[in-house]
Structure 1
Amino acid sequence: MKSFSSEQTVAPDDLDTIFRLYSRELHRFAHRRLGDPEMAADVVQDAFLRYLTVTLDGRDGTAPTSPRFFLWRIVSNLMIDWSRRDRRRGVHAALDDVAEHFADPAPLPDRVLEGREEFRIIVTTLDALPRKCRAALLLNRVEGLSHVEIADRLGVSPSMVSKYVVTALRRCMKALAVPGG
């Protein structure tokens, strides 16, 4: 790595030459500090973009006189910004990597019992329905048939199918609302 005192004389607006001279050493510096070559490349790229912005805006004589020093300063500041941002965000991990430690995909035992009891209540309620009423509900909700298709199968009107489905749903909801049916 070259020292600041041995900086070559380069025009501040000759970005191509500046990039060729300093990008590798800036990348090595950032990579050593950050430990991630991709993040280091991003920091160096951002540094050159900021340098370019300052150079373009500095046409009134305020352009940096030492491009190398100025780029090192930008890279250092960007690395500080990135580390602060990372500290604020905290540690990130993929959801798949941590989900197994926090959430059990199986329902809790009490929820399993509740589900079994609700299923038993629904089966008992459906068994107590008249045959066409039960058939209309199951053909509609389980088989996905339309009211017209169900009417053809059961030999009733589509409006009667609607009444059957509504009656069956009301009885199921009533049975589930009151424990024990």
Structure 2
Amino acid sequence: MTTSSDPQSADGQFQRHANELLRFFTRQVKCAELAADLRQETWLRFRRREPGEEIGNLRAFLYRIARNLIIDHRRQQESRPALEEIPAELPSEQPGPERVVGDGQRLAQLQTILQGLPPHLRQALLWNRLDGMTQREIGERLGVSESMAGRYILKALELCQQHMDISP
């Protein structure tokens, strides 16, 4: 904060009450740094008043600015969540390394099992689960009835379940 040696200047007038304002803010907010910031904001608002604006009681005027700043500060604090409420580390949506490795191992195991299935069972299962084809569409492609295509899918799932713990 710049000060002027002229006690009649705006800076000089403010400076007469600066230490008192700092003590007031420190008691109110219990933080020396924040108190200094609020005192600085008081000075800025004091300086922004209309040129030629008459101030009857300078000390009362400065305290009115100070009280308004305290009110604004408290409202702002109430609208923010407390730091304790915000977890230090937010849980990740991504799976952990153990899960990634485990999933990779299960996928490799499933690929091995699928390769060991008879081709018509493997193809029926893949068309159904990966391509979303109906039993009717699979039956038409394989040249079998719709119910036979359903049995192929069911048999493929049963064989996969026997070799690994997955649900159909």
Q: TM-score range by the shorter chain?
A: 0.5 to 0.7
Shift, 1:40, TM fit: 0.9
Structure 2 distance, partners of 1:16, 1:87, is: 33
Q: Residue in 2 aligned with 1:169? A: none
Shift, 1:52, TM fit: 0.6
C-alpha distance after superposition, 1:127-150 (max 9, x if no partner): x99xxxxxxxxxxxxxxxxxxxxx
1:24-35 correspondence to structure 2 within 5 Å: 24-35=19-30
Structure 2 distance, partners of 1:117, 1:107, is: 10
- Runs of 4+ in structure 1 off by over 3 angstroms are 102-108, 123-126, 177-181
Larger Rg: 2
Q: Residue in 1 aligned with 2:102? A: 116
Q: Residue in 2 aligned with 1:43? A: 38
Root-mean-square deviation (CA), in Å? 4.0
Letter in 2 for 1:65: G
Unaligned runs of 5+ in 2: 1-6, 116-125, 131-156, 162-168
Structure 2 distance, partners of 1:25, 1:46, is: 15
Q: Residue in 1 aligned with 2:88? A: 99
Q: Residue in 2 aligned with 1:67? A: 58
Give the structure-2-normalised TM-score.
Answer: 0.52
Structure 1 distance, partners of 2:68, 2:103, is: 63
Letter in 1 for 2:48: T
Identical aligned residues as a percent? 26
- The structure whose RCO (Cα within 8 Å, separation 6+) is larger is 1
Unaligned runs of 5+ in 1: 1-9, 130-173
Shift, 1:118, TM fit: 3.8
1:1-181 correspondence to structure 2 within 5 Å: 11=8, 14-54=9-49, 57-59=50-52, 62-93=53-84, 98-99=87-88, 103=91, 112=99, 116-122=102-108, 125=111, 180=160
